[in-house]
Amino acid sequence: MTSTRATAEEATQPPALTIDALGKKCPIPIIMLAEQINRVPRNAIISVLADDPAAFTDIPAWCRLKSHHHVASHELPQGGWAIHVRRNY
């Protein structure tokens, strides 16, 4: 379940902030993301680590609703994903 929508530039851009939401059930990972997205500069990337399967669908859906950009979701070796989001505004 790795999405490959990232452009080459986005894929190499390191996250400015990583949110560890492993073990947290939805909607907590999204609440954490919404709280912390303004801590990074515009166009920076936040990586949300989450293993609740709902987060895999809900973080991209949140990006769509909030006009931020879902860059890609990378599977983690221990299970779950690193879900990369770019702050758009």
Partner 1 sequence: MTYFDAASTEPLHPQAREALIAALDVGWADPARLYGPARRARMLLEQARTEVAEVLGARPDEVAFTASGTQAVHLGVLGTLHGRRRAGRRLVTSAVEHSSVLHAAGIHERDGGSVETVGVGRTGAVDPAAFREAVLAGGTALACLQSANHEVGTLQPVAEAAAACAEAGVPLLVDAAQTAGRTPLPKGWSVLTASAHKWGGPAGVGVLVIRKGTRWRSPLPEDERERRRVPGFENVPAIVASAAALRALAAESARESARLSALVDRIRAEVPRLVPDVEVIGDPVARAPHIVTFSCLYVEGDVLLTELDKAGVAVSSGSSCTASTLRPSHVLEAMGVLTHGNVRVSLPQGTSAGDVDHLLTVLPDIVRRIREDAGIRS
**Cβ distance to partner 1 smaller for residue 58 or 74:** 58
Distance, in Å, from the CA atom of 9 to the CA atom of 26, rounded to the nearest integer, reads 30
- In this chain, which of 26, 40, 44, 82 binds partner 1, going by CB under 8 A? 26
Catalytic residue (one of 17, 26, 44, 54): 26
Q: Is 85 exposed, middle or buried (0-12, 13-18, 19+ CB in 10 A)?
A: buried
Residues 86, 60 contacting (CB under 8 angstroms): no
The yes or no reply on residue 23 touching partner 1 (CB under 8 A) is: no
**Residues in touch with partner 1 (CB under 8 A):** 25-27, 30-31, 34-35, 52-54, 57-58, 60-62, 65
